């Protein structure tokens, strides 16, 4: 992580030297996402940066950069325990990733939407429906689909549907073993 931090700091220096605001915004977002993996002390800085870089990405029509900014925003909300707002940010991030043709990034955001359905204010029945929808959307990405089955199983268990929950977990294990 220290090496990644050094590379991103260098990217920010190069962007400043080139006076490239788009490159600088991308490097900043990625650097702050990395910091949030190390410490939650960067949430205020990350929240501010996400807000500041969005107009830069919009000006440059950088749809993938916009994805990364909303992903950073989602992480800030998640760390702060505002799962509803995190879910909205991940939904926006997923849409930008889809528009950018970035299927891996879209899948990542959609997986987090399933965890938000479990951890947030969504009623269990709605969460099950949401996770089933996400699993279907992610069927072409087996790892992501398997990850969605974990919160789905928890939500099914909350509703007393234990056989379905066990079946969801068994399906996830099969996919992951494959």
pLDDT tens-digit map of 42-54: 999 999 999 999 9
Phi, psi of 131 (to 5 degrees): -65, -40
End-to-end C-alpha distance for the chain, whole angstroms: 30
Mean pLDDT of 65-76: 97
Is the per-residue pLDDT at 40 higher than 80? Answer: no
Nearest by Cα to 21 from 57, 75, 66: 57
Angle between helix 63-79 and 21-38 (nearest 10): 30
142-158 vs 162-177: helix crossing angle, rounded to 10: 160
Average pLDDT for 100-124: 97
Q: Evaluate if residue 148 carries a pLDDT over 80.
A: yes
pLDDT for 159 beyond 80: yes
Mean pLDDT of the chain: 96
3-state helix vs strand vs coil in the chain, percent to 5? 85, 0, 15
If pLDDT is split at 50, 70 and 90, which confidence band does 1 have? confident
């Amino acid at each position: 992580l220290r090496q990644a931090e050094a590379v991103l700091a260098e990217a920010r220096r190069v962007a400043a030297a080139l006076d490239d605001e788009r490159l600088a915004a991308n490097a900043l977002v990625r650097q702050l996402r990395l910091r949030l993996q190390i410490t939650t002390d960067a949430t205020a800085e990350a929240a501010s940066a996400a807000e500041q870089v969005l107009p830069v990405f919009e000006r440059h029509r950088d749809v993938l950069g916009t994805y990364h900014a909303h992903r950073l925003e989602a992480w800030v909300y998640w760390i702060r325990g505002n799962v509803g707002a995190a879910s909205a940010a991940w939904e926006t991030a997923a849409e930008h990733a889809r528009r950018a043709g970035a299927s891996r990034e879209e899948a990542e955001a959609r997986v987090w939407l399933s965890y938000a359905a479990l951890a947030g204010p969504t009623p269990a029945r709605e969460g099950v429906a949401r996770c089933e929808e996400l699993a279907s959307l992610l069927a072409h990405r087996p790892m992501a689909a398997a990850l969605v089955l974990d919160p789905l199983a928890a939500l099914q268990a909350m509703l007393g549907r234990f056989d379905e929950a066990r079946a969801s977990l068994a399906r996830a294990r099969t996919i992951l073993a494959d």
